[in-house]
């Protein structure tokens, strides 16, 4: 099947107790750096299995289509796809949010919030026994994060256009699309592009239920690895890198099945099978849309005065409620 088109590399290996786990990097499509690319990331938090499942479901569907879908083959001649479906296998194996060192990989990048952050949740250096631990000040990033950064820096950032989508779960009743910043209340320069992308999605799939917002609209954090990579990308003004987080609203699954509250995985994952498949299918639509949007980015990315007007509208929408 389509596996012949898939290149697999071990981006790093991690230990948890006496077990060793590989962190895989899977690529498809044309490696030419002049072409756009999309990266799909998941399993940064070991308890949020659904993110990894959504990505594997989508990848499986792509590989199956590679056997017969000519249009998909043509598309992959014009773009690059990167998957890291399970960045924290040690955490998933031991059923913890953090990695085996007790570090929350989403609080671990060398970046400090410039606004106040919620106690503990915003990231702290008190103890690895508490959730949201950042790691030791001044230490290198954890090996999982170093691998993630290497993949983004080599596969996405050198291109004139790329999107990263990182799949999480566990926050709120609704499915959200979060974008930078997490470390600051200041709007990013790419708000216009994100507003346009949202419009494009709503026009293509009316009644879709994602709530788009900057992460800081909910809470600010220290050490967000996507902010860290976004700021690196900003050094090259000729390229656009949009890191998006898909935050699946798991509280709805709990509401429909309150027994989930008593399971450690229940707060983060759909436990009923028909709901699991519905969740995987629904988010596949979003991932597939993003892949197409990346391939045709020059057809919709706003430019010139239109872009300036959209940036103003976006600031009014997200920063001046
Ligand atoms: Zn998460």
Dump pLDDT digits (tens) for 264-310.
677 777 878 888 889 999 999 999 999 999 999 999 999 999 999 99
Q: What is the pLDDT of residues 15-28, one digit of tens each?
A: 999 999 999 999 99
Ligand 1 centroid distance, CA of 204 (Å): 28
**Contact (CB, 8 A) for 143 and 18:** no
Going from the Cα of 169 to the center of ligand 1, the distance in angstroms, rounded, reads 6
**pLDDT higher than 60, residue 1:** no
Query: Do residues 156 and 35 make contact, with C-beta atoms less than 8 angstroms apart?
Result: no
Instruction: Quick: pLDDT tens for 85-116.
Output: 999 999 999 999 999 999 999 999 999 999 89
- In the reported structure, the alpha carbon of residue 292 is separated from the centroid of ligand 1 by a whole-number distance in angstroms of 25
Which of 234, 193, 227 has the alpha carbon at shortest distance from 115? Answer: 227
Q: Residue 39 and residue 49: Cα distance in Å, rounded?
A: 18
The DSSP letter of residue 188 is: P
Residue 79 to residue 33: CA distance in whole angstroms: 9
| CB burial readout 1-35, b (16+ within 10 A) else e | ebeebbeeeebbebebeeeebebbbbbbbbeeeeb
> What is the pLDDT confidence band of residue 2, given thresholds at 50, 70 and 90?
low
DSSP, collapsed to helix, strand or coil, labels residue 20 as strand
Whats the size of the chain, residue-wise? Answer: 321
Say which residue the tokens 């983060």 belong to.
Answer: 268
Which residues make Cβ contacts (< 8 Å) with residue 171, sequence separation at least 6? 218, 247, 249, 250, 251
| Ligand 1 centroid to residue 168 C-alpha, Å | 4
Tokens coding 290: 């993003």
Three-state DSSP class for 280? Answer: helix
**Distance from Cα 54 to the centre of ligand 1, integer Å:** 14
* Residues 183, 112 contacting (CB under 8 angstroms): yes
Q: How far is the CA of 170 from the centre of ligand 1 (A)?
A: 7
How many angstroms is it from 268 CA to the middle of ligand 1?
A: 9
Distance between Cα 259 and ligand 1 center (Å): 22
Phi-psi region of 304 (alpha: psi -120 to 50; beta: other; left: phi over 0): left
Residue-level pLDDT at 5: 84
Taking the alpha carbons of 258, 218, 228, 137 in that order, is the dihedral positive or negative?
negative
* Per-residue confidence (pLDDT) for residue 90, from 0 to 100: 97
Distance separating alpha carbons of residues 177 and 214, to the nearest angstrom? 8
pLDDT over 70, % of the chain: 98
Q: Angle CA(27)–CA(32)–CA(33) in degrees, nearest 5?
A: 95
Handedness of CA 94, 178, 182, 141 (dihedral sign): positive
Burial of 55 (0-12, 13-18, 19+ CB in 10 A): buried
Contact indicator for 140, 134 with CB cutoff of 8 Å = no
- Ligand 1 center to residue 158 CA distance, Å? 27
Ligand 1 centroid from CA 298, angstroms: 31
Q: What is the token pair recorded at 5? A: 């088109």
Asked if 169 and 243 count as a contact pair (C-beta separation under 8 A), the reply is no
| Cβ neighbours, 10 Å, residue 79 | 23
The half-sphere exposure of 205 on its side-chain side, counting CA atoms within 13 A, is 16
């Amino acid at each position: 099947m389509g596996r012949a088109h898939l290149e697999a590399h071990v981006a790093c290996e991690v230990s948890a107790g006496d077990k060793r786990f590989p962190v895989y990097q899977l690529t498809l499509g044309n490696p030419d750096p002049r072409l756009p690319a999309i990266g799909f990331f998941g399993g940064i938090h070991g308890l949020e299995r659904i993110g990894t499942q959504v990505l594997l479901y989508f990848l499986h569907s792509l590989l199956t289509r590679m056997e017969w879908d000519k249009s998909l083959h043509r598309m992959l001649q014009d773009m690059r796809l990167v998957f890291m479906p399970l960045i924290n296998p040690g955490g998933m194996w031991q059923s913890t949010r953090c990695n085996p060192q007790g570090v929350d990989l989403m609080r671990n990048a060398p970046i400090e919030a410039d606004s106040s952050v919620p106690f503990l949740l915003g990231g702290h250096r008190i103890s690895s026994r508490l959730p949201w631990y950042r790691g030791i000040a001044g230490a290198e990033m954890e090996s999982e994060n170093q691998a993630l950064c290497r993949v983004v820096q080599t596969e996405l950032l050198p291109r004139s256009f790329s999107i990263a989508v990182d799949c999480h779960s566990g926050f709120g009743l609704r499915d959200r699309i979060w974008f930078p910043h997490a470390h600051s209340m200041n709007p990013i320069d790419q708000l216009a592009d994100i507003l346009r992308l949202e419009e494009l999605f709503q026009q293509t799939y009316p009644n879709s239920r994602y709530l788009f917002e900057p992460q800081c609209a909910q809470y600010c954090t220290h050490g967000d690895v996507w902010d860290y990579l976004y700021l690196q990308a900003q050094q090259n003004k000729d390229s656009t890198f949009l890191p998006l987080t898909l935050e699946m609203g798991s509280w709805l699954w709990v509401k429909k099945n309150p027994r989930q509250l008593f399971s450690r995985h229940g707060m983060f994952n759909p436990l009923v099978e028909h709901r699991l498949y519905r969740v995987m299918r629904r988010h596949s639509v979003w991932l597939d849309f993003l892949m197409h949007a990346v391939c045709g980015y020059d057809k919709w990315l706003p430019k010139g005065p239109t872009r300036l007007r959209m940036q103003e509208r976006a600031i009014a929408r997200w920063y001046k409620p």
